[in-house]
């Protein structure tokens, strides 16, 4: 098919005639106003409709959002729904789909609500973890596992409701969890360090004990060479080990602390080991000789250790030795005193039983033999002279000496049995009676007995004040007679196997005195005083213990009147039951 020429605007040429020029032809432009105006109007209408629909949709969206939010506000999540959500079950929440705005609003609001609940519970669990961390009840790994499990579980449940809320929840809990985790790591580091320090301290104590054991030998044998080495060289090895172990912990202050502790312990170990040896029986059989050796630098097998000590440490060893020797002497003396007291307490009741029996009775001889055994075992407690006194019961004792010793016991000037045994003026019965008073822990009853005897003898007694008495006077003689009566009552009780207290003795004595006063002899004596002697011209008045001193003064140097005074005193004794 032939190609037709194309008509173009502009210059027109004759295609078949070269060089022929034709006039310029310009076709007219056509403007379709109507169509253009219609199109513009349609566009304006479309834009208006778009704006209107946008506004309407915006209003509808806002209304849907508000409705969704309001629904969630009016219907908060229940505990059952919350528990189900924790387990990943979102069905009870009735969230609907995710394509309409209302359901999206419900999901968003419900996600915020769940997130708030989950965060509150998470913070509570983190607080519990923090408390466990502070109390040392959990580890960093356990805290990390707890945080991860809690964060993953809660965020997974939130992701099914609103992924954005899930991301925010993870970020919030991660921040709070890191605080707890950091605290756990800090506590664990501190705890591990404490464990390391405790282990190091225990190892330090064990090292010191081994060191003390080595020091106590005075030297040590090198296992490699078999040579005898000084304890200071042995200490150098422990010193280096302890210093290195402390530095491994990374604490220069700890290294300094334990280095100082080691030096103090090593010093004390040498002092203690040397002291322990020198106070042993091996070294200190003779305390004086042992002290002399130490002063010349001789400490037996510990000599090398002792001589290497500074002067102050040597002085401590010597001081410890002297204290130990003094304590040993004190303990020995205390034991001797205790044994003496024990034997004395065993002897006194045996003697009381023996002295209350007839001289030639079989039982008395047996008791005398038992007393002899005690005397042989402990002559300090029971001198053999007591056995001799026991066999001489009729020997007269000095009553004034007995009175003075008894007063010395109460006043605290007589404190030892030896002070009683050494008094040759006393017979056996007096000595044992005084020993009994001396060895009695509570002397209040005995004081009551003595005061009662003094009262019955007519001696004024003021509690707490010493009794002043004329040993040559009638009152003293009467007191000794009453004391003899009291001893007789006690001897009778001992013979009958009875236990009688000082108070019971006094009551029995008063009872017997009352019986004597009511006897015919006492009545006759009182009648004689009242009807005969009180009528004498130079007396002419009542005769009593109270008026007797005045009568003696009135008698003066008149021999006859003095003789009558003695008769009056005898009658008074009879009337009062003292004879």
Digit-coded pLDDT (tens) for 249-290? 767 777 788 788 888 888 888 888 888 888 888 888 888 888
Nearest to 486 by CA among 517, 451, 521, 460: 451
Q: How confident is the model at residue 491 (pLDDT cuts 50, 70, 90)?
A: confident
Q: How confident is the model at residue 88 (pLDDT cuts 50, 70, 90)?
A: low
The domain ranges of the chain are 67-190, 334-512, 520-575
Comparing 16-30, 34-48, 480-494, which segment has the lowest mean pLDDT? 16-30
Query: Cβ(158)–Cβ(115) under 8 Å?
Result: yes
Comparing 16-25, 47-56, 435-444, which segment has the lowest mean pLDDT? 16-25
Instruction: For residues 34 and 40, give the distance between their C-alpha atoms in angstroms, rounded to a whole number.
Output: 10
Q: How confident is the model at residue 103 (pLDDT cuts 50, 70, 90)?
A: low
Digit-coded pLDDT (tens) for 562-578? 888 888 888 777 777 66
**Backbone dihedral angles phi then psi of residue 445, each to the nearest 5 degrees:** -65, -40
Q: What is the DSSP letter of 135?
A: T
Nearest to 72 by CA among 34, 105, 36: 105
Q: How confident is the model at residue 143 (pLDDT cuts 50, 70, 90)?
A: confident
Q: Which residue has the higher pLDDT, 275 or 132?
A: 275
Instruction: For residues 91 and 80, give the distance between their C-alpha atoms in angstroms, rounded to a whole number.
Output: 11
Digit-coded pLDDT (tens) for 57-87? 566 556 655 655 566 565 666 666 666 656 6
Average pLDDT over residues 107-112: 67
Sign of CA dihedral 416, 421, 423, 426: positive
CB under 8 Å to 467, separation ≥6 — which residues? Answer: 407, 454, 459, 461
Instruction: For residues 161 and 72, give the distance between their C-alpha atoms in angstroms, rounded to a whole number.
Output: 13
Alpha helices in 383-443 (DSSP H): 384-390, 399-411, 417-421, 428-439
C-alpha 260 chain-centroid distance: 29
Q: Give helix 444-456 / helix 399-411 axis angle, nearest 10°.
A: 140
CB under 8 Å to 534, separation ≥6 — which residues? Answer: 540, 541, 542, 543
Digit-coded pLDDT (tens) for 497-544? 777 777 888 888 788 777 766 676 777 777 777 777 777 778 778 877
Q: How confident is the model at residue 106 (pLDDT cuts 50, 70, 90)?
A: low
Comparing 386-400, 412-426, 429-443, which segment has the lowest mean pLDDT? 386-400
Alpha helices in 422-473 (DSSP H): 428-439, 444-456
- Average pLDDT of the chain is 73
pLDDT at 115: 65
10 Å CB burial of residue 48 (0-12, 13-18, 19+) is exposed
Average pLDDT over residues 209-222: 77
How many residues comprise the chain? 579
pLDDT at 9: 56
Q: Reply yes or no on whether the pLDDT at 145 is more than 70.
A: yes
Write out the DSSP string of 137-156: -S-HHHHHHHHHHHHHHHHH
Decide: helix, strand or coil at residue 288: helix
State the first-to-last Cα distance of the chain, in angstroms, to the nearest integer: 195
Query: Cβ(368)–Cβ(390) under 8 Å?
Result: yes
pLDDT at 309: 87
Comparing 86-95, 109-118, 328-337, which segment has the lowest mean pLDDT? 86-95
CA neighbours closer than 13 Å in the CB half-sphere of residue 124: 6
Q: Reply yes or no on whether the pLDDT at 394 is more than 60.
A: no
* Percent with pLDDT over 70 in the chain: 68
Query: Cβ(92)–Cβ(84) under 8 Å?
Result: yes
pLDDT at 100: 62
Nearest to 425 by CA among 400, 407, 445, 442: 400
Instruction: For residues 139 and 132, give the distance between their C-alpha atoms in angstroms, rounded to a whole number.
Output: 9
Comparing 21-25, 31-35, 381-385, 443-447, which segment has the lowest mean pLDDT? 21-25
Write out the DSSP string of 213-244: HHHTTSSEE-TTT--EE-HHHHHHHHHHHHHH
| C-alpha R_g of the chain | 61
pLDDT at 533: 78
Structure tokens at 166: 């899930």
Q: How confident is the model at residue 167 (pLDDT cuts 50, 70, 90)?
A: confident
Query: Cβ(490)–Cβ(352) under 8 Å?
Result: yes
Average pLDDT over residues 369-379: 80
Strand partners, 10: 25
Digit-coded pLDDT (tens) for 182-212? 777 777 777 777 777 788 778 878 878 877 7
pLDDT at 86: 60
- 373-379 CB contacts, 8 Å cutoff, 24+ apart: 374/343, 374/346, 374/347, 374/350, 375/347, 377/343, 378/339, 378/340, 378/343
C-alpha 472 chain-centroid distance: 64
């Amino acid at each position: 098919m032939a190609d037709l020429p194309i008509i173009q605007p502009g210059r027109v040429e004759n295609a078949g005639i070269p060089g022929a020029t034709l006039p310029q032809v310009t076709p007219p432009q056509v403007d379709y106003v109507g169509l253009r105006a219609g199109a513009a109007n349609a566009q304006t209408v479309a834009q208006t409709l778009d704006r209107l629909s946008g506004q309407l949709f915006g209003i509808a969206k806002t209304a849907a959002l508000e409705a969704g939010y309001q629904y969630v506000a009016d219907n908060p999540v229940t505990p059952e729904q919350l528990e189900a959500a924790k387990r990943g079950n979102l069905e009870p929440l009735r969230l609907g789909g995710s394509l309409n705005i209302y359901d999206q609003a419900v999901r968003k609001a419900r996600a915020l609500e769940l997130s708030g609940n989950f965060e509150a519970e998470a913070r509570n669990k983190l607080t519990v973890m923090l408390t466990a961390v502070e109390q040392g009840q959990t580890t960093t790994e356990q805290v990390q596992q707890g945080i991860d499990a809690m964060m993953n579980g809660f965020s997974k449940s939130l992701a099914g409701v609103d992924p954005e809320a899930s991301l925010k929840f993870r970020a919030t809990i991660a921040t709070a969890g890191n605080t707890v985790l950091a605290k756990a790591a800090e506590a664990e580091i501190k705890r591990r360090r404490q464990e390391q320090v405790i282990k190091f301290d225990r190892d330090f104590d064990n090292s010191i004990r081994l060191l003390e054991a080595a020091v106590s030998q005075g030297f040590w044998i090198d296992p490699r060479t078999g040579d005898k080495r000084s304890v200071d060289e042995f200490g150098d090895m422990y010193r280096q080990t302890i210093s290195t172990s402390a530095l491994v912990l990374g604490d220069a202050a700890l290294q300094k602390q334990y280095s100082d502790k080691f030096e103090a312990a090593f010093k004390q170990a040498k002092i203690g080991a040397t002291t322990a040896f020198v106070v042993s029986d091996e070294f200190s059989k003779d305390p004086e000789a042992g002290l002399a050796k130490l002063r010349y630098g001789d400490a037996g097998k510990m000599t090398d250790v002792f001589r290497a000590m500074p002067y102050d440490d040597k002085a401590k060893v010597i001081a410890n030795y002297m204290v130990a020797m003094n304590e040993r002497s004190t303990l020995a003396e205390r034991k001797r005193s205790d044994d003496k007291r024990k034997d004395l307490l065993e002897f006194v009741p045996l003697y009381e039983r023996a002295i209350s029996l007839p001289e030639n009775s079989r039982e008395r001889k047996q008791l005398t033999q038992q007393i002899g055994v005690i005397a042989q075992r402990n002559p300090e407690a029971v001198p053999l002279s007591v056995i001799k006194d026991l066999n001489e019961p009729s020997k007269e004792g000095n009553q004034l000496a007995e009175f003075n010793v008894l007063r010395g016991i109460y006043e605290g000037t007589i404190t030892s049995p030896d002070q009683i045994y050494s008094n040759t003026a006393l017979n056996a019965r007096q000595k044992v009676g005084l020993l009994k008073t001396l060895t009695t822990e509570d002397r209040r009853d005995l004081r009551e007995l003595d005061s009662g005897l003094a009262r019955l003898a007519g001696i004024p007694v003021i509690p707490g004040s010493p009794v002043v008495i004329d040993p040559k006077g009638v009152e003293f003689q009467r007191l000794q007679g009453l004391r003899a009566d009291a001893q007789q009552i006690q001897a009778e009780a001992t013979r009958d196997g009875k236990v009688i207290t000082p108070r019971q003795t006094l009551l029995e004595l008063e009872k017997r005195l009352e019986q004597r006063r009511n006897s015919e002899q006492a009545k006759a004596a009182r009648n004689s005083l009242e009807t005969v002697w009180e009528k004498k011209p130079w007396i002419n008045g009542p005769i009593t213990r109270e008026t007797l001193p005045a009568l003696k003064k009135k008698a003066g140097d008149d021999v006859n009147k003095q003789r009558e005074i003695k008769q009056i005193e005898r009658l008074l004794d009879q009337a009062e039951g003292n004879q």
